[in-house]
A and B are shown apart, each in its own frame.
Chain A
Amino acid sequence: MNFQLIALDLDGTLLNSRKEIPAEAAEAIRAVTAAGKTVIFATGRAVCELEEQIALLPQVRYAAFASGAGLYDIKEKKTFGLRGVPAGQAGRILSIARTKDVMPQIVTPDADVIQASHMEQLEHFHMGVYRPMYERAMTLVPDIYAFAEACHEPFLKINLYHADPEERFRTRAQLEFPDLDLVYSEVSSVECSAAGVSKGSGLERLCGLLGVPLNACIAVGDAENDIPMLRAAGLGIAMGNAPAHVKTAADRVVSDLDHGGCAQAIMMLL
């Protein structure tokens, strides 16, 4: 199979445990793009959280962000193809979140928003490792629930980070609804998007734009929210650090995030 494109998840995949791009992965991206292949990001992050990676990897032109809820033209600095959470659902998700020890994060086209007091408690919600990124990229509001009521922009994604990782299973069951897609990510989160929106649909939409058939694509990831794109792509690769059910959904497994796994996957394009 002559693969033409690779979709890379960021956290836990391209980025190592220190949230850096390993040298061999950067080199692999340089090599494959020089050979005419296409590399795209497929991330749960919002556009404002991609600045560093965009600057370090100028070969990457497009990203599917907010787990496929939005597409981004890096060169033109323009989002397009936004697919937000249905308006009624946003209210429902947040009213359930209010009853729990949860940090909601709302991703809009321009900003990634959390409550100021939650920023001080990132470790409590098992997100301490993201503190530097959050300090750089998050927009803080005094009251996330009041912000949500007043905001008229589409919510591309609503992430709920739980203090108790076990609680997220209950939350997901409570939120289950035909027009919502729910996935687990990180240690304790449930990510909510519009039905049909996933990294898989994001990959499919970018492939449609670029004229690349899905079976000529490779997708690499490590978390549950990567499963749809691992399945959609011609070759789905799970990182060594991925949990068992993500590995099962993949065609191949590579080394982990600190041992060159992503670089191995990228080189499969050649």
Chain B
Amino acid sequence: MGLFPYRAVIVDFDRTLLRTDKSISDHTIRVLRECCQSGARLFAATARPERAIQAYCDTIAFDAVTTLNGARTIVGDDVYEALISNRSAEYVLQQLNAMEGAVISVETGSGLYASIDIPVWQPTVTDDICSLAGQEKIYKILVSHPQIPISRICLDLPEDLYTTVADQKLIQIMSKEATKWNGILRMLESFQIQTEQAIYFGDDNDDTEPIMKCGCGVAVGNALPSVLGIADYITESNDEDGVAAFLSGLIKG
């Protein structure tokens, strides 16, 4: 068994660990297992909600996951949440509701709600999206627009929230406390692992902070140019199993 130089392997899901068709290769699963057998903890840091990674978690034994960009972090039986305040949620939803054509969805404690049906996501459709603010725990508000480029969507954002863009077409609105990095810190602290002992793999804007702050930050080959620019290493693309390729190189010896 080789010596593995990191105590934690942390992976983003979409377009990093997963191929573009959302599958994960057997080879990748084997390599992740080898890292764990060498003593490393395995963590996921994803924008997805827990329900959307359940199938993968059944195959890969993650020691902890931070979901919804750090809004909900699960370490065994412990759950850490960074919610959008009711007041801020109401203010944002009212503005979005007034934008004609905006597609609004909300990740809540009781699942995903949306202003229209989005077949891929199977939300609960509601014509009173603003009322969620008082009724549910709100983790994330997502907005896209079929006609208007997202850079032109104007929102008066409350002080306690921030936005991030995913896939270059979806705005995600969250509490400032909800970041992948904060979720990662929780997970590392739970296992008493220092940030220098962690290796992180990512591809998009929300992976920038973990890539900069973990001991080793790796961008997959398909990552955004700005992410490639700040990574310590660049590996093959997600479709070429870049994460497995890089980790294999570390395990040998």
Contacts and interface: CB of A to CB of B under 8 A. Distances in A.
Given A80-B212, A80-B213, 10 more contacts: A78-B213, A80-B231, A81-B231, A81-B232, A204-B229, A205-B226, A205-B229, A208-B229, A209-B226, A211-B226
A82 B229 CA distance: 10
A78 B213 CA distance: 7
Contacts of A76: 212-213
Q: Size range of the interface on A? A: 10 to 19
Contacts of B230: 71, 80-81, 205, 208-209
A209 B229 contact: yes
A73 interface: yes
Interface string A131-149: 0000000000000000000
Interface in A201-226: 204-205, 208-209, 211
A208 B211 CA distance: 14
B208 interface: yes
Contact of B211 (A80, A82, A204): A80
Contacts of A82: 232
- Secondary structure call for the A interface: mixed
B213 A81 contact: no
Contacts of B208: 209
A57 B240 CA distance: 44
B220 to A, nearest CB: 15
B213 A208 contact: no
Nearest to A70: B232
Contacts of A81: 212, 217, 229-232
A209 B225 CA distance: 9
A208 B232 contact: no
Report, nearest first, the 5 A-B pairs whose CB atoms are least far apart: A208-B226, A205-B229, A80-B212, A81-B230, A208-B229
Contacts of B232: 80-82
A193 B231 CA distance: 18
Residue of B213, B229, B231 ringed by the most chain A CB atoms within 10 A: B229
Nearest to A204: B229
Contacts of B211: 80
15 contacts: A73-B213, A76-B212, A80-B211, A80-B212, A80-B213, A80-B231, A81-B212, A81-B217, A81-B231, A81-B232, A204-B229, A205-B226, A208-B226, A208-B230, A209-B229
Nearest to A154: B232
B127 to A, nearest CB: 36
A80 B226 contact: no
Residue of A71, A80, A204 ringed by the most chain B CB atoms within 10 A: A80
A209 B208 CA distance: 8
Interface in A56-111: 71, 73, 76, 78, 80-82
Contacts of A211: 226
A267 B231 CA distance: 32
A78 B211 CA distance: 11
